[in-house]
Amino acid sequence: MPEPDPFLEAAIAEARAGLAEGGIPVGAVIVHGGRILASGRNRRIQWGSVIRHGEMDALENLGRRPASFYRSCTLYTTLSPCPMCAGAILLYRIPRVVIGENRTFPGSEELLRRHGVIIEVRDDAECRGLLAEFIRRSPAAWDEDIGLVADERAGGLISGL
């Protein structure tokens, strides 16, 4: 069994907090120089936001920084980034993304790789379990979060662009 990663554990703690608030359990942290500088969680349900995914929340919580700053950060996220979050990662040229799991949603990993982002997938059981619990309870909210309508789920169109 791999050693626990304190940064991924911090992202998982954010996901747990989001689930406890009734939200979608996706958490993220931004690491720079071996320290967590910002954390976030999906707050779309809690705040009525259309864009507040975990990665976006962490970036917002980090605040404005010089463009060069992001280029030495690592983003840890419990779920593979969607196209919106991948766009932010590419915009700020975050060079490395550590992903808790990508089975539930494959995200935009290939897009990130094509642009030189180093992707590391941990396939973490707790990350999968938190999302599975939420999806069982709130499938419509999950579909909305990833931009699906019911017939697309039935047709197997869950993919990451």
Q: Which residues contact 7 (CB under 8 A, 6 or more apart)?
A: 29, 31, 36, 74, 76, 98
SS3 percent helix, strand, coil of the chain, rounded to 5, is 45, 15, 40
Whether 55 sits among the annotated catalytic residues: the reply is: yes
Q: Give the residue ranges of DSSP H helices in 71-119.
A: 83-91, 109-114
Which of 102, 104, 106, 75 is closest to 88 using CA atoms? 75
For residue 10, give both structure tokens.
Answer: 């911090």
Strand partners, 150: none
Q: Residues 14, 21, 55, 110: which is the catalytic one?
A: 55
Strand partners, 32: 35, 73
Catalytic residues: 55
